[in-house]
């Protein structure tokens, strides 16, 4: 809902009716915008943050058509609506008003108390709708985000991986997977404490997030293990990005309570050429093997591999 006074759109081809209604609405300190045509109404909807609308269904203005147009606008698909008419209305008219999203139907001349009660109800509904949307966004964020680092959690990362893999198949484009592990992280925890370990994880995630490309999908899948999917990236791209990430971590001073903690990472990089078809399980398995090789080879290094088209085997999606 808009900050400050609620904004009410009044649509009536009779300007006198508009003025009367606007005067009535002002009693509740609502801000009123009046339109006499559908074009004016749409312009106001696009320019303002309308919280509710009162629309006449009298000829020649087709109020139901205007309501249909409003509901087709993503921003206003749940906008509370009320309809007014100079005619006596019957059951079919009432049903049509409900069909087009009308919460109320009033006959002119208005009963001031009833109309003000209608406006109050619609504004209240809009406020509750906005609160619900905000809570849903918060829940969605919590369900998809790693609480400590603010990047994708395991569940959301693999949902995004599935989407990117499907897109790569459609477009026949290559991509890469970087499987990363912070070297000697247990030793950091044991030496400096878990608060320092959490700080290292957050700092690492921030550095990688600043270093990767905007299109890359970055997530934490457990402990000190992080993964990046690189869409539209060939073998050389993957090696270059992996090495850039590794070097950034090694060269950045990460200080905890005034003391520098050296941090390095090992990376297993798997390149998937455009012709190859694989699964998330296969990606993780092969990237993990490359990561293991990087750690066994002395850590603080990138070990790249390339998936051959003939290697791919269809397996269940088991990493969620």
User: Is 296 a known active-site residue?
Assistant: no
Q: Where in the chain is the domain with CATH 3.40.50.2300?
A: 7-138
Residue 119 is predicted with a pLDDT of: 86
Residue 109 is predicted with a pLDDT of: 77
Closest CA to 50 of 30, 23, 27: 30
DSSP state of 172: T
Q: Which of 46, 172, 224, 243 is catalytic?
A: 224
What is the helix (H) or strand (E) element at residue 176, kind and residue range?
Answer: strand 175-182
Residue 318 is predicted with a pLDDT of: 44
What is the helix (H) or strand (E) element at residue 250, kind and residue range?
Answer: helix 235-251
Distance CA 198, CA 185 (A): 10
Q: Where in the chain is the domain with CATH 3.30.70.270?
A: 154-311
Domain 154-311 carries which CATH code? 3.30.70.270
Distance CA 230, CA 300 (A): 20
In the chain (320 residues long), the average pLDDT of successive 10-residue segments reads 77 82 79 90 92 86 88 92 83 83 80 83 91 90 93 95 94 96 96 96 97 97 96 97 98 93 97 85 93 97 86 42
Architecture of the domain spanning 7-138: 3-Layer(aba) Sandwich (3.40)
Distance CA 225, CA 233 (A): 22
Neighbour tally for 306: CB within 10 Å: 17
Tokens coding 318: 């088991």
Residue 91 is predicted with a pLDDT of: 76
């Amino acid at each position: 809902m808009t900050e400050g006074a609620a904004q009410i759109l009044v649509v009536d081809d009779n300007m006198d009716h508009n003025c009367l209604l606007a005067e009535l609405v002002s009693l509740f300190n609502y801000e009123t915008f009046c339109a006499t045509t559908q074009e004016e109404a749409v312009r106001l909807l696009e320019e303002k943050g309308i919280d509710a609308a009162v629309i006449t269904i009298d000829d020649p203005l087709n109020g139901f058509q205007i309501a249909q147009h409003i509901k087709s606008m993503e921003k206003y698909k749940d906008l509370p609506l009320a309809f007014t008419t100079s005619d006596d209305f019957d059951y079919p008219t009432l049903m049509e008003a409900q069909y087009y999203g009308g919460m109320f139907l009033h006959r002119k001349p208005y009963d001031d108390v009833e109309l003000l009660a209608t406006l109050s109800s619609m504004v209240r509904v809009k406020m509750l709708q906005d609160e619900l949307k905000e809570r849903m966004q918060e829940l969605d964020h919590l369900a998809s985000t790693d609480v400590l680092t603010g990047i994708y959690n395991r569940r959301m990362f693999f949902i995004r991986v599935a989407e990117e893999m499907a897109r790569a198949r459609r477009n026949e484009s290559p991509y890469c997977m970087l499987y990363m592990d912070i070297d000697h992280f247990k030793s950091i925890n044991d030496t400096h404490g878990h608060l320092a370990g959490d700080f290292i994880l957050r700092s690492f995630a921030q550095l990688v997030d600043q270093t990767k490309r905007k299109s890359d999908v970055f997530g934490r899948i457990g402990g000190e293990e992080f993964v990046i999917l690189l869409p539209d990236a060939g073998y050389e791209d993957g090696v270059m990005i992996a090495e850039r990430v590794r070097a950034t971590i090694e060269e950045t001073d990460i200080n905890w309570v005034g003391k520098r903690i050296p941090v390095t990472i090992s990376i297993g990089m798997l390149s998937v050429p455009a012709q190859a078809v694989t699964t998330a399980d296969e990606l993780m398995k092969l990237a993990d093997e490359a990561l293991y090789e990087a750690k066994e080879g002395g850590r603080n290094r990138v070990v790249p591999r390339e998936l051959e088209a003939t290697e791919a085997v269809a397996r269940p999606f088991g990493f969620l």
